[in-house]
Amino acid sequence: MTSVTVSAGARLHFGFQNLSLARERLYGGIGVGLERPRVEVTVTPDDDVVADDPLVAAYAERACAALEVPGVSVTVDRRLPRHVGLGSGTQLALAVLQATAATHGVDVSVREQAPALGRAGRSGIGVATFESGGFVADAGHPTGRFTTDPPAEGDWTVPPVVTRHDLPEDWRFLVVIPAIDPGRSGDDEDDSIRRVIEAADPHIADDIAGLLTRRLLPAAAEGRLEAFGEAIAAIGHKNGAWYTDVQGGVFRPPAGELVDTLSASPVVTGVGQSSWGPTVYGVTDVDHADEAVGAAESALESAGIAGSVQLSRAASDGARVEP
């Protein structure tokens, strides 16, 4: 029983396949795991749960209860920014779970235990990318169980992965994080998504299904950058049509201004908003990486917004465990 370190990359969420109760499956996430930025936690066995951060302590307590182990001491070595659209909650929770299991010598399926930590109640992308990285789409949840009010916390299963692809090594995802108010979470997010579902046009889901099956999946399988980017941009705009009333536009202000500016760049494709934002993403290749970063920095400057810009490959594997 020694210390164990687990690190996991962020994820981008391109959107959902369906938010209408008139269709058979609800949600159905589409996204990609990133090599960076990353969260990293180090865990050692303990008689109780010891952590400086209340959120980390809460995840550790749930993990210990689910695994039936006494306790752990948790140190967060690297953090993902919270509530900006990078999946920080799921990656942190699962890293704590995986490390807790490893340090106590317990076998664990993060997929089976994620609901006990309150994760994957809507999208399964964070769990899927934690497991194996890559570009992923999940099957969503049965609409009959997920009306405007989801089941009680933890009373669900993680949506199964319906497709996963490694993306070409020379692709780079541009990650732009404006220094503005974070995206929605908790009760605010629950209320917002409930209002979206109540009003969601089912025909948008039908359009997204066509974009996914006839454009995005073939582009991912064949490694065609421009076609991939055009498809995720179109899916992002379709999703934004569902969210317009609750977030003040197809993309939340001022992320929408960044999306518009970056979309005009000849070296960036597939520009959109990850989850509730404010993170904006795009896709380029290694030969145009410096130009893409410059375009993103110029977009922030033009909008009068501070922020950070970085590039990442798509992750080709899941979380890393180091004893």
What does each of the 323 residues of the chain score in pLDDT, given as a tens digit? 689 999 999 999 999 999 999 999 999 999 999 999 999 999 999 999 999 999 999 999 999 999 999 999 999 999 999 999 999 999 999 999 999 999 999 999 999 999 999 999 999 999 999 999 999 999 999 998 776 666 788 889 999 999 999 999 999 999 999 999 887 777 788 889 999 999 999 999 999 999 999 999 999 999 999 999 999 999 999 999 999 999 999 999 999 999 999 999 999 999 999 999 999 999 999 999 999 999 999 999 999 999 999 999 999 999 999 98
Give the pLDDT score at 84. 96
Give the pLDDT score at 249. 95
Q: Cβ contacts of residue 101 below 8 Å, gap of 6+?
A: 63, 67, 107, 108
Q: What is the dihedral sign for C-alpha 102, 106, 109, 114?
A: negative
Prediction pTM value: 0.96
In whole angstroms, give the CA distance from residue 14 to residue 234.
10
Give the pLDDT score at 1. 60
Give the pLDDT score at 148. 62
Q: What CATH number does residue 233 fall under?
A: 3.30.230.120
Six-digit token pair at 263?
Answer: 């979309």
The domain containing residue 238 runs over which residues?
A: 4-322
* Cα separation values, 23 from 18, 140, 149, 234, 299, Å: 7, 11, 16, 20, 38
For residue 169, the tally of other CB atoms under 10 A from its CB is 12
Give the pLDDT score at 153. 82
Spatial CA neighbour of 178 closest among 81, 283, 284: 81
Matching residue, tokens 């990353």: 38
Work out how many domains the chain is built from and give that number.
Answer: 1
Matching residue, tokens 């317009």: 244
Side-chain half-sphere exposure of 215, counting CA atoms within 13 A = 17
Give the pLDDT score at 92. 98
Give the pLDDT score at 149. 67
Say which DSSP state 249 is in: S
- 245 by DSSP, 3-state: which? helix
Give the pLDDT score at 186. 74
Side-chain half-sphere exposure of 309, counting CA atoms within 13 A = 21
Give the pLDDT score at 154. 87
In whole angstroms, give the CA distance from residue 214 to residue 123.
22
Give the pLDDT score at 152. 83
In whole angstroms, give the CA distance from residue 68 to residue 101.
10
Give the pLDDT score at 135. 98
Spatial CA neighbour of 165 closest among 236, 121, 221, 216: 221
Give the pLDDT score at 146. 72
